[in-house]
Structure 1
Amino acid sequence: MGVSGCGKSTVAEGISEALGLPFAEADRFHPESNIAKMSAGTPLTDADRRPWLADLAAWMAAQAREGQSTVMACSALRRSYRDILRSGPPQVQFVHLDGPSELISARMSARPDHFMPAALLQSQVATLEPLEPDEDGVVLDLRQDPDTLVDAAVRWLAAH
């Protein structure tokens, strides 16, 4: 979890490969209307996100019914969003990639083919609610290289 550009997809794919679990990119679940809004520089509202989050929870729940754990790259910015995600499968753990917004902005500017403009980063930073003590998760410093982040996440997941 984390704001756009923090490295969620890269790290989640690495976790997926390391653990041999199916990977899903939450952005691919967005309806066209959400992508159009973000592409135009308009932040999503909670009403925009709710059906998208419900679809993500349903996908994870369907995988869990098949006996399959999953790995997903998803912003999960607010506690209420994470609550929706937790409503699907029996257990959800979060790996929050956190770090300086200046670094994230630079990363976003370097990926011109992504629909999420760097201009929306501050709205995501403002929306982000850190994991609370009762949430099953870990915070990792995104300034570390991807392999280090994947290793730390896999170790944390194995211990929990």
Structure 2
Amino acid sequence: MSGKSYVVMGVSSSGKSSIGAALAQALGAKFIDGDDLHPRANIIKMGGGTPLNDDDRAPWLERINDAVFAVDRKNETAVIVCSALKKAYRDRIRQGNDKLTFVFMEGGYELILERMKARQGHYQKAGMLQSQFDALEVPGADEPDVIHVPIDGDFESVLARSLAAVRTAA
């Protein structure tokens, strides 16, 4: 599985970071939290409770794309966490990167809202969840490089499902 990136995607509080980190550990892969690749202006904007727009996301998606490219060039394996809510965002990450699989943490609004309310210390505000669902374009059959992983159940179940899906797709 070297030279391969797995982008764990979905709305805020869908489990991207926790599942992504555990998935990276299980695969012996590098872990990259896409939130760490946001420009300062985006972090400040989100911290103030304002959703990002496409112009805000452009430099962030470029950084994610570059990270995937670097992993491939270094013949490494990485798990990268990135919301990648719209097909255009996923397409931007795909540009020039063919050793890439998206892992979609799929869950309903009520389940994710419940999880979001339980979180502490994250700069994404609960009131912004609806804007994330409004922006989400659920990957369809026209995106064969996307694995759908249902997030219902406990952490261990979701991790086991994610790991099995990634290994099957490899």
Q: TM-score range by the shorter chain?
A: over 0.9
Q: Which residue of 2 aligns with 1:18?
A: 26
Q: Mean Cα displacement is larger for which, 86-95 or 109-118? A: 86-95
The aligned runs of 1:1-12 (5 Å cut-off) are 1-12=9-20
Identity %: 39
Compute the TM-score of the two structures, normalised by the length of structure 1. Answer: 0.94
The farther-off stretch of 43-52 and 99-108 is 99-108
1:146 pairs with 131, 155, 158, which one? 155
Superposition pairs of residues 84-99 of structure 1, within 5 angstroms:
84-99=92-107
Instruction: Name the CA distance, whole Å, in 1 between partners of 2:64 and 2:151.
Output: 24
One of 20, 31, 38 as aligned partner of 1:30: 38
Work out whether residues 39 and 59 of structure 2, in 8 Å CA contact, stay in contact via their aligned partners in 1: no
Q: Name the amino acid aligned to 2:158.
A: L
Q: Answer whether contact 1:61 1:90 (CA < 8 A) is retained.
A: no
* Cα displacement string for residues 38-69 of structure 1 (whole angstroms, at most 9, x for unaligned residues): 11111101010011011011011111101012
Residue among 79, 83, 88 paired with 1:75: 83
Amino acid at match of 2:53: T
Separation of aligned partners in 1, 2:119 and 2:159: 21
What is the number of equivalent residue pairs in this alignment? 160
TM normalised by structure 2 equals 0.89
* Residue type of the alignment partner of 2:92: I
Gaps of 5+ in 1: none
Q: Partner letter of residue 122 of structure 1?
A: Q
Stretches of 4+ moved more than 6 A in 1?
none
Moved more, 5-14 or 98-107: 98-107
Bigger drift between 102-111 and 33-42 goes to 102-111
What corresponds to 2:164 in structure 1?
155
Whole-Å Cα distance in 2 between the matches of residues 46 and 39 of structure 1? 17
C-alpha root-mean-square deviation of aligned residues, in Å? 1.3
Unaligned runs of 5+ in 2: 1-8
Q: Secondary structure at 2:156's aligned position in 1?
A: helix
